[in-house]
Amino acid sequence: MIARSGSLFIKMIITAVAIPNYLGNSQNGILNYPLVLVTFFMAACTLGMDSFVTRQLLQQPQKQHVLLGTAFRLRLMAGIISLPLIYLTYQLIGNYASKAPAAPIEYVAIVSFVCIFQSFNIIDSYFQSRVQGKYIMYVQIGANLLSAAVKLLLILWHAHLEWFVWILLADSVFLAFGYLYMYHRKGNSISDWKFDSTVAKHLLKYAWPLVFSAVFITIYMKIDQLMLDAYLGEAVLGVYSTVVSLSEGWYFIPMAIVTALFPAIMNARRDHAARYQKRLQNLYELMAVISISIAVLMMFASPFIYSTFYKPEYAAGARILTVHVWAGVFVFLNVASGQYLIAEGYTLLSLARALTGALVNIVLNVLWIPKYGMIGAAYATLVAYASTALFVIFVPKTRTQGWMMLKAIFFIPIIQRLVKR
């Protein structure tokens, strides 16, 4: 995680600061639009299988080639099917939105092929199941540094906007080749992968709620950017995109922590119920401490960040960041509790809470963006993330987890331990 933080910091400096300053807010909005639109379909193309395949590999390591081969081909087919759907969605937005989409169809077409190359990300599940996430980190670090270096060269060469659009696709290509290289380096070969229709049906049967969950999660995380473009134009989207980059740049941390700890939590669930609950509480506390620390730091640093590193046309982003960054607290807890729901087999509940977050965010954006602009979108995001993370409180069988998260947010277990000492 420390190594990846360094590489991501370098990438964020280029993506969240250097490129926006080079392009200006309007062109930065155009650059971000295709990726935001395609992200909705990227979520669907994963078929919700990543965590589920990891669990299956933990339980049935002897079926490695069949599980990986079947999941890969299903994801590849989903990626191919998504291409015409992306183009159709773009046309529908153009016909019914009050403003034309920020980016031309050619840019969307280029970025849409990310849905195909991300099929190779299933290799991540193999390394997770063997608690060898460090090898995937090597790949991601290398891809981040390579991406940052290429983007920096494009800036120095005064490249046209279209080159930066191609790099959005190249990022997924770098990762795909990195995953393949690392998988083969560890003595494996994708030529051993096999497709099994029975396994495919089994994967789809149990993962389909996670497919829709992933889509709804993407909706409540990205819909504000599409709606800002539709209501206020690409210049506002360009400013807001810098806020999102700075705020969401930390979201790899909960994924890295959960990836590392999930096997141990699953073992506790199998062997010792009390230890299982204790580890979950400790996980929520860890997420709360890290995320709240980041939120406080970014809230006070936001005026300095925007006055020092951005052109004056981005100055409005400072106020927006002080609100948006607090949504990360609930993202951290959401990632942790999401693994609990998968471990317990509550995939339909995952779907219900993701749908709740999507609906809350859409409704609040419709009400608040026309009236309040970017700050309305930021508050809508914060409320939507909170409603999603704390949704489990309103379900009897998961209410305990909700109270555990609330206690973690207010540091109650930590205070109790300090008092006892």
* Confidence grade of residue 260 (pLDDT, cut at 50, 70, 90): confident
**Whether 53 contacts 72, CB under 8 Å:** no
Taking 70 as the threshold, does the pLDDT of residue 6 lie above it? no
**Whether 113 contacts 173, CB under 8 Å:** no
Taking 80 as the threshold, does the pLDDT of residue 133 lie above it? no
Going from the C-alpha of 311 to that of each of 17, 53, 245, the distances in angstroms are 10, 45, 16
Taking 90 as the threshold, does the pLDDT of residue 309 lie above it? yes
Residue 270 CB-density burial (10 A; 0-12 exposed, 13-18 middle, 19+ buried): exposed
Taking 90 as the threshold, does the pLDDT of residue 320 lie above it? yes
Calculate the average pLDDT of the chain: 88
More confident residue, 421 or 308: 308
Q: What pLDDT was estimated at residue 10?
A: 74
More confident residue, 405 or 55: 405
| Mean per-residue pLDDT, 116-133 | 82
More confident residue, 377 or 16: 377
Q: What is the 3-state secondary structure (H, E, C) of 168-216?
A: HHHHHHHHHHHHHHHHHHCCCCHHHCCCCHHHHHHHHHHHHHHHHHHHH
Taking 80 as the threshold, does the pLDDT of residue 144 lie above it? yes
Q: What pLDDT was estimated at residue 277?
A: 86
Taking 70 as the threshold, does the pLDDT of residue 5 lie above it? no
Query: Token pair of 66, please?
Result: 């069949």
Which of these ranges, 85-99, 163-177, 287-301, has the smallest mean pLDDT?
A: 85-99
* Confidence grade of residue 8 (pLDDT, cut at 50, 70, 90): low
Q: What pLDDT was estimated at residue 7?
A: 61
| Mean per-residue pLDDT, 399-414 | 92
Going from the C-alpha of 78 to that of each of 46, 122, 196, the distances in angstroms are 8, 13, 16
Q: What pLDDT was estimated at residue 205?
A: 80
Taking 90 as the threshold, does the pLDDT of residue 166 lie above it? yes
Q: What pLDDT was estimated at residue 122?
A: 86
CA distance 151 to 158: 11
- What is the tens place of the pLDDT at every residue in 198-235? 888 888 887 777 778 878 888 888 899 999 998 999 99
| Mean per-residue pLDDT, 334-362 | 87
Q: What pLDDT was estimated at residue 399?
A: 93
| Mean per-residue pLDDT, 340-360 | 86
User: Around Cβ 340, how many Cβ atoms within 10 Å?
Assistant: 22
Which of these ranges, 84-88, 317-321, 340-344, has the smallest mean pLDDT?
A: 340-344
- What is the tens place of the pLDDT at every residue in 71-103? 899 999 999 999 999 999 999 888 877 778 889
Q: What pLDDT was estimated at residue 251?
A: 87
Query: Token pair of 107, please?
Result: 């840019």
